[in-house]
Amino acid sequence: MESNWIAIIIIIITFFLIRYIEKSKTPLLLNFSKWIPPILLAFIFPAIIVYLFGFNFDDSPIFSWNTKYLYPVTIFTIMSSMSLSDLKIVGFKPLILFLISSFIITIIPVVLILLIVYNPFDYQSLIIENSLWKGLIPVIGSWIGGSSSMLILKEFVLINEELFLSILVIDTIIQNIVMIFLFQSIKQTDYIDKKFNLDKLDLISLGENNLVSKNLTFTLFFSFSIPLTFIYLDMDFLFNVLALSVIGLFFGNFFKRWSNKINLKIGSIGIILIMSIIGLKLTFDSFELPFEFVIFIVFWMLINMILITLSGFLLKTSFTWTPIALMANIGGISTCPALASAYNKKLMPHAIVLAILSMATGTFWGILSFSLINFII
């Protein structure tokens, strides 16, 4: 019982530390957050505390509470924060570009695994027989759906915490490098649009986002009562994820009193708590990835960036949507609006729309890729 309270105290400290870093305007912490996302710190900080003080929470029920209670509420609140009506703000071509990006991220690991299986490379034992390929599935969740999808897919494919941490660190490094590149490239939009005769962005016609607070009591009641109902029914984990996602989308789009904004905040809190609890199980004994596997992930990202850029040129859409579509998937709702504002602040609401769409679809893309790879091997 004492260990449970210690675990809860560590999680509470981690939560307030992350929230403080997220809201801080201190230059040092702002620079720190650019390179080490708070969500990564939420995972590592509890692990460091456990390591330094020699705590062992293996038998604690807090991990089953995490899966049984926190996951359903977090999934439902995040999914119900997406307003389908906001898609018309973005327009047809940017939406197609975003979906192409999602498809490319999903299909590339399937193609690469296919090449490994049917070619005499010495990677089959490394990536397939050692089940390292399962580590690719949470990456899809991260690159499309963000932290929530990454965590859901981690549970879905059942990878251990050591592999997950290694994947998370590599993923963070790659995302930071790509983010710097995208911030620089979006500033060249006017030149690239003119050079390649792409559509000129009409900033005057852009609208506003619909993510506004409405009926708080109504939203909070159903945001907790619906996930609790599924918890009581004790259904399969995947069934709960899919059902709560669909019901969340329904409530977020067909109830006028629904508050998308408050659920986005609740979902963000849930992500921090989930990552903190997972961090309690982490050990640093096997913190490494084979070099070939790291190259595999880097190659995956490079192909994604090249193909999405070519797709933007083929669609003749303004270049500004190419980095925004990439960032909506790879960076998510925390960095996509910031990237859009680097070109023009009027684009921020539209970047949020694409980022929320990414959050809503990431899990499904990851499950699709997992199913295809599982069929191949």
DSSP three-state, residue 36: coil
CA torsion sign for 205, 211, 213, 214 is positive
Under 8 Å CB-to-CB from 303, ≥6 apart: which residues? 104, 108
CA distance readout (Å), 185 to 93, 102, 179, 322: 19, 20, 10, 10
Among 160, 182, 163, 159, which Cα is nearest to 171's? Answer: 163
Q: Which residues of the chain have pLDDT under 50?
A: 205-213, 286
Task: Give the model's pLDDT for residue 207.
Answer: 43
Task: Give the model's pLDDT for residue 334.
Answer: 59
Task: Give the model's pLDDT for residue 146.
Answer: 74
Are 58 and 262 within 8 A, CB to CB?
no
Burial of 167 (0-12, 13-18, 19+ CB in 10 A): buried
Task: Give the model's pLDDT for residue 204.
Answer: 53
Are 309 and 322 within 8 A, CB to CB?
yes
Task: Give the model's pLDDT for residue 104.
Answer: 92
> How many Å is the Cα radius of gyration of the chain?
21
The residue extents of the domains of the chain are 2-376
Q: b or e along 127-139 (b: 16 or more beta carbons within 10 Å of the residue's beta carbon)?
A: bbeeebbbbbbbb
Task: Give the model's pLDDT for residue 124.
Answer: 60
Task: Give the model's pLDDT for residue 305.
Answer: 92
Question: What is the C-alpha to C-alpha distance for residues 357 and 351, in angstroms, rounded to an integer?
Answer: 10
Task: Give the model's pLDDT for residue 297.
Answer: 86
Task: Give the model's pLDDT for residue 344.
Answer: 78
Task: Give the model's pLDDT for residue 35.
Answer: 66
